[in-house]
Amino acid sequence: MASMYIHHAYYANRAHTHGNLTIEPSYMGMAVLTTLSTVYTTLQLILNSPTDEREMLFIKIMIFLIGALVASIASASFAGVADVWYAVGSGQFQMISLDTAGIGFYFVLPLSILSLRFVEKYGDWLDYVQEKVAALVVLGPAEVYLQRFWYMISEDAVWTYLCW
């Protein structure tokens, strides 16, 4: 479903409506039929398998579906970048897609790896800072409010409210 949404979002928001970047209208039915048959097949595999093998089969199918989602996201991002740059001529789509993949491998991938290593190394310190910020933002005003209006609350009023 996520893959279909990504491709629908690209198709609905593309800038170059009459270029060679979209699927031919005669092949639209084939794409829908392929998607529906894949979904139906995976559901039938899960539902018709024995209950003790269902979890393992579900994990195997989820690996396939996650791979399909990653490939769909990559193709949609390449098509979206090429659509912004109006890659209509011969070979331009491949050139822009290669540049987009290069940006992903040389900038996005190392930044994500470095951020994960930073969280792994300084995770305890980040948790401490997050707790202090939450206490300052959330608990600070609540404490001031309670100190300011504490005289309005009496034991009898609270007890009456709780017992009522």
DSSP state of 116: H
Contact of 6 with 68, CB cutoff 8 Å = no
Cα–Cα distance measured from residue 144 to residue 150, given in angstroms and rounded to the nearest whole number:
10
Give the CA diameter of the chain: 83
| Amino acid identity at 151 | Y
What count of Cα atoms within 13 Å lies in the side-chain half-sphere of residue 16? 17
Tokens of 127: 């948790």
Query: Residues 11-29: pLDDT tens digits?
Result: 777 766 655 555 666 666 7
Whole-prediction pTM value?
0.48
Could you tell me if residue 86 is left (phi over 0), alpha (psi between -120 and 50 degrees) or otherwise beta?
left
Which are the contacts of 10, defined by CB distance < 8 A and separation ≥ 6? Answer: 76, 79, 80, 83
Confidence check: pLDDT of 157 > 60: no
Query: Residues 80-119: pLDDT tens digits?
Result: 787 778 766 677 778 888 888 888 889 888 999 999 999 9
